[in-house]
Amino acid sequence: MRKSNERILKGLAALLAVFTAVSCVDEKIVERIVEVERELFQTPSEAAAGMLGYTDIETKLTVCGNCHVGPQSKWATTAHADAWEGLQSSGHAQEFCEGCHTVNELGNTLTELAGYNATGEDRYHDVQCESCHGPGLEHVTSPEDANIPLAPIATGVDNTQGCGECHQGAHHPFVEQWENSGHGTLNSYPAGRDGCNGCHEAGGVLARWGETAPYLEQGELQPQTCAVCHDPHGSPNPAQLRFPIGGVEIEQNLCSQCHNRRTVPEEGFHGLHPHSPETALLNGEAGFFFPGSGIDLEPGRIIASHGSSGNERLCATCHVVFTTVNDAATGEFLFESVGHGFKAIPCLDQDGIPTSEDCELSTDTRSFEGCTGAGCHTSVEGVFSALTTATSRFQDQVTTLHDLLVQVDPNLEGVGGEIDPNNPVITTAEGAYFNMELAAFGGSNRPSVGLTYAGAAAHNPFLVEQLLRASINAVVAEYNLSPPVGLDMGLVLGKGLN
Ligand code: HEC
Ligand code: HEC
Ligand code: HEC
Ligand code: HEC
Ligand code: HEC
Ligand code: HEC
Ligand code: HEC
Ligand code: HEC
């Protein structure tokens, strides 16, 4: 018997003792240990730096998978388990392609050549457990010691670990785009706070979702990394996502797990500011509806077509858009944009590549691929004109409403007066104030700071228009103000009403 196997059996005996003492994580681990007869692996060469790879290449049984049957069976269904064959059958396989399609120092904490890159052996084909977890030799030979190979959830363009070590470059620039997105940036104000972590910090999010598996950076604050949205071991959803992006009620979709915070006014500091209201906007439920005022507006009645089953990928249709950018002059491939900047209508650089920068709203400066690519809108001009028509109507109405609210309470949301977030009763003026902010909501842009209405105009123009009209009517009636002149105040319920 090989030396490594003697050690394993010794380790396994110790393990059994551990298992009978502590209740087992994965009962099948024990079964496997009891029936283990054949060798789990051949001693790897020095150069492999402790990486083990497959026990059985044919059946894709990883060494780790002998004991961790849960992760093994999930992982076997992912594209990672077919990465070598995908490369070979592409007809373009070359040596320099192999690093990202095999087990080696990419993805984990190793920085020197290891696994496939050091040995070229077949057992290291595909993106296996150790690609993320790092070398398993020590853990497998003495699992009773604390040598557990934990995987990182951190990633970044300059990191020498994490998904981004492979998911980068012009053909799949996930990490480059993600790093510059709102998800790739840790907001140091909410991060680390109870009540905020559940959406704003990776570890807090995973804990809220009941994912308690240990990882390398336990306790460190991380933004919304790849492993927040994607289950590293696989899932029944497309692209290993932890939640579906479509085919479900909108509240169940991935994005809505976080983008659904303060959608109606609440008592207290910030209570009159919407906080990520996108889900409820699409669903016709965001905003203050003036209950009992006789204004004919009810939650859930005006669902935008963008939030209906007609839009299968929901948020992702507009915010996760894949586009190939070719050189305008030569037609040659330049860049595969993978939509991981999460911008719906991103600004373009001089080559036509989406960026994370801001720019004016025009058809020259921005990509409208998300609107036209899915086959919903046929022309960029058409969709641009719909967007700017809605935004300029909102702008007029918000200006009117703002002027009325200043008459009601000159210091607006400052302490005291009709608009006072610390007063538990939501007044008509407060409801109207919230609706005004909702119309102008787009990340950090609020009426007091600068105006952008494109988000609300895309998410649910019909609802927002009705909320603004109702707000103006209610404020005029409640506070005996003179009705605004020159503004079309008839209640027009547009298409999308259902
Ligand atoms: C011989 C069986 C065996 C093999 C093979 C094995 N492990 Fe483990 N592993 C265990 C046991 C048993 C534990 C639990 C140890 C403990 O909790 O103290 C464990 C724990 C872990 C944990 C922590 C789990 C948790 O919830 O705390 C990770 C991660 C892990 N192993 C990864 C791996 C990886 C990666 C490989 C392959 C390189 C591997 N294991 C191979 C038996 C094995
Ligand atoms: C920097 C790491 C890296 C290198 C180098 C690399 N790939 Fe990949 N490859 C990836 C990643 C990551 C994916 C999956 C990304 C995606 O789905 O967009 C992938 C996916 C693929 C796929 C599957 C695509 C599909 O549609 O299923 C093929 C085929 C492929 N690569 C071939 C190649 C070839 C050929 C080369 C060399 C010319 C190469 N790769 C070099 C990282 C790499
Ligand atoms: C693409 C990266 C990646 C691959 C491939 C991967 N893991 Fe993991 N694994 C992680 C990360 C990240 C965590 C911790 C966070 C989480 O589960 O989301 C983890 C957690 C674990 C845990 C802890 C508890 C649990 O059951 O989730 C075990 C055990 C484990 N992995 C074993 C494996 C085995 C066995 C394989 C191969 C069959 C594997 N992993 C493949 C990244 C990966
Ligand atoms: C060692 C390189 C490597 C690492 C590390 C890695 N990947 Fe991959 N990943 C690939 C390759 C290569 C493919 C494409 C395989 C194919 O289609 O043949 C892929 C495919 C995928 C796919 C499926 C794409 C599809 O077309 O459905 C997802 C999702 C994914 N990876 C996410 C992740 C996440 C999340 C992590 C980190 C937790 C990660 N990967 C770490 C190389 C890697
Ligand atoms: C906020 C959630 C979120 C985060 C964070 C995220 N992704 Fe994704 N990812 C998605 C969604 C949504 C899709 C689209 C799935 C679809 O349309 O089928 C996707 C698709 C993918 C795919 C499949 C692409 C294909 O060709 O089908 C890969 C690979 C991937 N992501 C890798 C990554 C990596 C690597 C990171 C971190 C750098 C990352 N993702 C971060 C949500 C996320
Ligand atoms: C785990 C929680 C979570 C999930 C899931 C999530 N997001 Fe986010 N999202 C956030 C947080 C937190 C921010 C950044 C907030 C900040 O500015 O600090 C953010 C930022 C954004 C931004 C940029 C906002 C800005 O002002 O720049 C967009 C757009 C976005 N998310 C869309 C999506 C889409 C689309 C999905 C689904 C594919 C999604 N998000 C899934 C939590 C999440
Ligand atoms: C239910 C999930 C969730 C919770 C809980 C949450 N947030 Fe957020 N927050 C988000 C999302 C998603 C965004 C992205 C902003 C957007 O929609 O534009 C965001 C954005 C922000 C922003 C940036 C907004 C801006 O105007 O620039 C700040 C600051 C913020 N949140 C603070 C907090 C604080 C402080 C807490 C805890 C008291 C908290 N958040 C709790 C989901 C949440
Ligand atoms: C019909 C397309 C569409 C759908 C569907 C959609 N959005 Fe948007 N979203 C937009 C547009 C357009 C903007 C304005 C972008 C701008 O001003 O640059 C926007 C703005 C945003 C913003 C403000 C930050 C930013 O990038 O300006 C967030 C956050 C956001 N959307 C999240 C979501 C979420 C979460 C969903 C699903 C519940 C969703 N969106 C559904 C088109 C859409």
Task: Please report the pLDDT score of residue 37 as a whole number.
Answer: 53
Pocket of ligand 1 (CB under 6 A): 12, 15, 25, 29, 40, 52, 63-64, 66-68, 129-130, 133, 136, 139-140, 143, 148-150, 213-214
Distance 8 CA to ligand 8 centre (A): 53
Distance 79 CA to ligand 4 centre (A): 7
Mean pLDDT of the chain: 88
Q: What is the mean pLDDT of residues 379-400?
A: 91
Task: Please report the pLDDT score of residue 304 as a whole number.
Answer: 81
Tell me which long-range contacts 21-25 makes (C-beta under 8 A, separation of at least 24): none
Does the beta carbon of 273 sit less than 6 angstroms from any atom of ligand 7? Answer: no
Question: Per the structure block, which two tokens stand in for 76?
Answer: 């076997």
Query: Has residue 410 got a pLDDT over 80?
Result: yes
Does the beta carbon of 114 sit less than 6 angstroms from any atom of ligand 4? Answer: no
Query: Has residue 9 got a pLDDT over 60?
Result: no
Does the beta carbon of 314 sit less than 6 angstroms from any atom of ligand 8? Answer: yes
Identify the band that residue 488 occupies on the pLDDT scale cut at 50, 70 and 90: low
**274 closest CA partner among 128, 40, 492, 431:** 431
Identify the band that residue 374 occupies on the pLDDT scale cut at 50, 70 and 90: confident
Distance 167 CA to ligand 4 centre (A): 7
pLDDT tens track for 237-275: 999 999 999 988 899 999 999 999 999 999 888 899 899
First to last CA, the chain: 72
Distance separating alpha carbons of residues 398 and 433, to the nearest angstrom? 10
- When comparing pLDDT for 357 and 205, which is higher? 205
pLDDT tens track for 131-180: 999 999 999 998 778 789 999 999 999 999 999 999 999 999 999 999 99
The region of weakest confidence among 67-71, 300-304, 394-398 is: 300-304
Distance separating alpha carbons of residues 416 and 430, to the nearest angstrom? 12
Per-residue exposure over 42-79, b if at least 16 CB sit within 10 Å of its own CB, e if not = eebeeebbbbbbbbebeebbbbbbbbbbebbebbbebe
Task: Please report the pLDDT score of residue 302 as a whole number.
Answer: 86
pLDDT tens track for 81-95: 999 999 999 999 999
Task: Please report the pLDDT score of residue 29 as a whole number.
Answer: 56
Ligand showing the shortest atom-to-Cα distance for residue 456: 8
Q: What is the mean pLDDT of residues 423-434?
A: 94
Task: Please report the pLDDT score of residue 296 as a whole number.
Answer: 79
Distance 322 CA to ligand 7 centre (A): 26
Does the beta carbon of 177 sit less than 6 angstroms from any atom of ligand 2? Answer: no
Distance 151 CA to ligand 3 centre (A): 7
pLDDT tens track for 280-335: 999 999 999 998 887 878 888 888 888 888 888 999 999 999 999 999 999 999 99
Q: What is the mean pLDDT of residues 192-221?
A: 96
Distance separating alpha carbons of residues 371 and 378, to the nearest angstrom? 8
Distance separating alpha carbons of residues 371 and 43, to the nearest angstrom? 55
Instruction: Give nearest CA residue, ligand 4 atom 41.
Output: 163
- When comparing pLDDT for 490 and 234, which is higher? 234
pLDDT tens track for 266-285: 988 889 989 999 999 999 99
- Percent of the chain residues past pLDDT 70, beyond the cut: 88
